[in-house]
Amino acid sequence: MEHAETHPGAAARTAGVLAALTHIDNVGFHGIATNLTGASPTIDRNWSALIRNARIAVAVIGWPTGIQAMAERFTAAADHLADTLDQRDTSIVAEPAKELHIAYHALSDAGWNYLAKTSGIPTEDNGHHH
C-alpha cells in the first residue's frame, strides 16, 4: 500500500481516482444506455449535463498510466453522447449510448481494481456483468 506520508502525490492521485469513480458510478450510465438503446427511447433533458459533468470529473484526474487511455476513451464517448443528446433526436442516440456505456464500465472496473491493488486488497474478476 502507498502511504500518504511517504508518497503525497500517490495520496492525491488515489483521492482523485476515488472521487471520479464515485461520481461516475452514480450517474446511471446503465439506465441511460438501456433507455436509449431500447425499443422506445426517450431523452431526459438532464442527461446531457450529467454526462458532461462526469466527463469533467474524469478529465481532471491524472489517471495511472494503464488507465489513462480508458479515461480518454470515456471522455470522448461522453462528449459524443452529450452532443448527440443535445440534438434531441432519438433515432441517433443508440450507438453513442452503447459506446459510453462500454467505456464507462471499462474505466470503472479498471479504476476500482487500481484502488484495490493500491490498498493491498486482492482482486479477482469483479467487473460489472450484465
> pLDDT digit string (tens) for 66-93?
999 999 999 999 999 999 999 999 999 9
- Are 83 and 97 a contacting pair, CB within 8 Å? no
| Greater pLDDT, 129 or 71 | 71
> Rg of the chain over CA atoms, in angstroms?
16
Q: Is the pLDDT reported for residue 123 higher than 90?
A: no
Exposure string of 60-84, with b = 16+ CB inside 10 Å and e = fewer, is ebebbeebeebbebbbebbbbbbeb
- Are 30 and 56 a contacting pair, CB within 8 Å? no
Q: Is the pLDDT reported for residue 3 higher than 50?
A: no
Q: Is the pLDDT reported for residue 4 higher than 70?
A: no
Q: Which three cell numbers stand for residue 93?
A: 442516440
Residues 6+ apart with CB under 8 A from 78: 51, 52, 54, 55, 58, 100, 103
pTM, full prediction: 0.88
pLDDT at 11: 87
Average pLDDT over residues 38-67: 96
The Cα 58–Cα 109 span in angstroms is: 14
What does the chain come to in residues? Answer: 130
Which phi and psi angles does 79 have, rounded to 5°?
-60, -45
The Cα 34–Cα 73 span in angstroms is: 20
pLDDT at 125: 57
